[in-house]
A and B are shown apart, each in its own frame.
Chain A
Amino acid sequence: MEEGVVNEILQGPLRDVFDSKQLITDVSGSGNNWAVGHNVFGSLYQEQILEKLRKSAEQCDCLQCFFIIHSMGGGTGSGLGTFLLKVLKDEFPEVYRFVTSVYPSGEDDVITSPYNSILAMKELNEHADCVLPIDNQSLFDIISKIDVIVNSGKLGKTVKPKSLVTSSARALKNRQEKPFDAMNNIVANLLLNLTSSARFEGSLNMDLNEISMNLVPFPQLHYLVSSLTPLYTLADVNIPPRRLDQMFSDAFSKDHQLIQADPKHSLYLACALMVRGNVQISDLRRNIERLKPSLQFVSWNQEGWKTSLCSVPPVGHSHSLLALANNTCVKPTFVELRERFMRLYKKKAHLHHYLQVEGMEESSFTEAVSSLSALIQEYNQLDATKSMPVQDFPRLSIAM
């Protein structure tokens, strides 16, 4: 809703990739106000947005999925973005809606980000098929880790520059990288790996609709924690199988997750492993067997693994792994978000900015926070089953 970023893209190296007619900009921005993004700009631009969407959709032989990429803490991405979700659900009910959301970190410079995030969460709860939460702190930590390795220059270890999960063409050419580019590249790689099976051949394909089918056991529990490995490739071409196994182990370590979460010590509802490159089914099975004992799965899904093998690896790598987990470790993120919200809300701080927008009332806030609380409660209930022994339900008995 302001022109700066879009204009920059249109002048950058990818300007020909984007259709200049398929963009909508306004002038003033949403002022970090979810209500402005959702209610004001939503109603203002609904027709235009729909028209452009229909145009794009018409060009598809078979439309499978929408990717919505936004942040939760701001005004436009958060407000208008979630408004769009409802529009997509009504207009294209059979098309999956995948949302990549950047959640506000602890040190966030937008004061009203808790309000925006919670209001947006309600919409995500109700209208998204699948949400991949990301937060800046984790991305930053990953970059720091890479920098340490690249700059340490240990003997015998040279990192292939193209293989960095943070690298981009621009960075290679000029050192003057924009601050968020490296972090954004990680998310870009996430989306690339997610769609790899749909774009390339493999011996065990996995489409986007399979992600939703396998990883969302109950409609509300559709938040997936993601992790990408490896973060870089060493120039050493001969890769012993141990390296391959290391890739699998790393995927479950909390340092590789794209949000602040520790899946190993929480409860898994389901887990998907999307492998690319020269990896065969035996490698996959060996690693699943190896890692299974250290992970806790919910009682009714003890073997809840979904796997896929794509033959084509990402640029600069010989193999890579994207792990998507439906795991109760997202709960702390939500709990913290709610706490930050309540700190502001109790003092009614900045509330007037929202309430003066038409259609917003205090009930919008209370509904949003109770929607989040209900979600947290679901995760709590699942966590409570963690230490309980697995019980087998009595089977149907047949009279012979």
Chain B
Amino acid sequence: MSIVTVQLGQCGNQIGFEVFDVLFSDSYCSQGLCSKKENEAYQASCKERFFSEEENGVLAARAVLVDMEPKVINQTLSKAAQSGRWKYGQHACFCQKQGSGNNWAYGYSVHGPRHEESIMNLIQKQVEKCDSLSGFFIIMSMAGGTGSGLGAFVTQNLQDQYPNSLKMNQIIWPYGTGEVIVQNYNSILTLSHLYRSSDALLVHENDAIHKICVKRMNIKQISFSNINQVLAHQLGSIFQPTYSAEGSFHCRRNPLGDLMEDLVPHPEFKMLGVRNIPQMSENSLAYSTFTWAGLLKHLRQMLISNAKMEEGINWQVRPPLSGLPALGKMSFNKELHFNTSIANLVILRGKDAQSADLAGFKDPALYTSWLEPDNAFNVWKTQRAFNKYEKSAALVSNSQFLVKPLDVIVGKAWNMFASKAYIHQYTKFGIEEEDFLDSFTLLEQVITSYYNL
């Protein structure tokens, strides 16, 4: 089954390019460390999911590029075409001349309705090229105007027009300190709207990825390109094919469906975080070896202590003793900064993945009381190595990972809202104070739900 990707705004398009590039280079990489037949199945599955074949055999990404000003899309298209290996479809992009001015209201209330038909038509064309549609992957930022506002609008439209298809939104959480001054407003409006219309929100924080670049990748002058490549690596490790129950030559058919089934048991809890280890520069990679036991031990501790990367993990945090009543467990956890999960998915790629032992993740203490670990934890394994890493372990988690950052953003937005600053910029385009209040209410509810796990 195929996934149609919608890239929105500067952020979405820049990231989207890196994602397709990683998917392609990994697929056709020679260091798969598996048999030829396995490799071919992997390639075929990746192709089915993400690329369509044009007449001359060139692969075209199953993507729609949307931006309200032309510079970024032009850059993205030419970068893809330059690589000579894959490209974007000829009529896959929609752009206008004037951006959204970092204004969520402008993206949502002006650009949305104005360009609804054109954008949905483009998406329809991509959908028609798929034999069978798994769903939509929408890449957007929360801080700007197009990705956030228009992204929320498009997601809503997708829900109306394709009610039986799944939607996963890849959201970029902006740096805490200013990329955009009104980023907190844009973020709360985006999150509250997406919570109603999307099926899952996969969140990446710029701050976290920046730290990974600093500490793990050894990059001196970090550019957005570096950040996007780390991000793309993490996304690729989730979306590349994995073996299904039938064995090594059959890959999972419905990636989005499987993700939703494993990770989103309840509509109140939709926020997913990703951790992927190991992550290091290509130079260091040549000199490192890992064991599954070591990787999984780190990954588990990262989960329960809410660490964003392999360094500086707090090993003091331990799961609470089982047998405590539910209420006692909650306050116990809060004191220890223990990260309770609803559902976890571990994806292992590489040599001897089948032999890895995941008992550590099945501990009921890790999970909230209303789910059995058998239902809450899943693992996907594949022998085929990813992106030149001999072993790579990814964790997609529906847990309290994001409740603190969300709390912080809502707090800042609320303070600004209380002083009415910048509100006139939104009311100018039809987003009233009540809309803000609705968003705040919804998000406070989400925060409370997650805190009470």
Contact = CB atoms under 8 A, between A and B. Distances in A.
A285 to B, nearest CB: 7
Contact of A214 (B180, B410, B412, B445): B180
A124 interface: no
A213 B422 CA distance: 8
Contacts of A309: 224
Given A214-B180, A395-B410, A395-B414, A285 B424 contact: no
A280 B75 CA distance: 18
A343 B226 CA distance: 60
Interface residues of A, number: 44
B421 A303 contact: no
Given A393-B418, A398-B444, A214 B181 contact: yes
A108 B221 CA distance: 47
Interface string A190-204: 000000000001011
B177 A292 contact: yes
A395 B101 contact: no
A281 B182 CA distance: 19
Contacts, number: 132
Interface string B32-68: 0000000000000000000000000000000000000
Contacts of B421: 217-218, 300-301
B177 A288 contact: yes
Contacts of B405: none
Nearest to A214: B181
B328 interface: no
A62 B68 CA distance: 12
A216 B96 CA distance: 25
Contact of B182 (A214, A282, A288, A395): A214
A41 B239 CA distance: 67
B10 interface: yes
B210 A285 contact: yes
21 contacts: A64-B97, A203-B14, A203-B224, A204-B179, A209-B102, A210-B99, A210-B145, A210-B180, A213-B422, A214-B102, A281-B222, A281-B223, A282-B222, A305-B177, A305-B179, A392-B415, A393-B418, A395-B411, A396-B414, A400-B449, A400-B452
Contact of A280 (B71, B176, B223): B223
Interface string A213-254: 111111100000000000000000000000000000000000
B107 to A, nearest CB: 11
B325 interface: no
Nearest to A309: B224
A101 interface: no
B440 A396 contact: yes
A333 interface: no
A90 interface: no
A292 B178 CA distance: 11
Interface residues of B, number: 52
Nearest to B206: A281
Interface string A286-309: 001100100000011111111101
Contacts of B14: 203
A212 interface: yes
B101 A300 contact: no
Contact of A209 (B98, B224, B411, B424): B98
A62 B96 contact: yes
Contacts of B425: 212-213, 216
B71 A205 contact: yes
Contacts of A397: 444
B175 interface: yes
A207 interface: yes
B352 interface: no
Interface in B406-423: 410-412, 414-416, 418-422
A300 B417 CA distance: 8
B178 A203 contact: no
B281 interface: no
A298 to B, nearest CB: 8
Contact of A398 (B75, B221, B448): B448
Contact of A396 (B182, B214, B444): B444
A303 B408 CA distance: 12
A282 B210 contact: yes
A221 B445 CA distance: 35
Interface string A375-400: 00000000000000000110111101
Contacts of B214: 282
Given A210-B101, A219-B424, A306-B181, A280 B414 contact: no
A36 interface: no
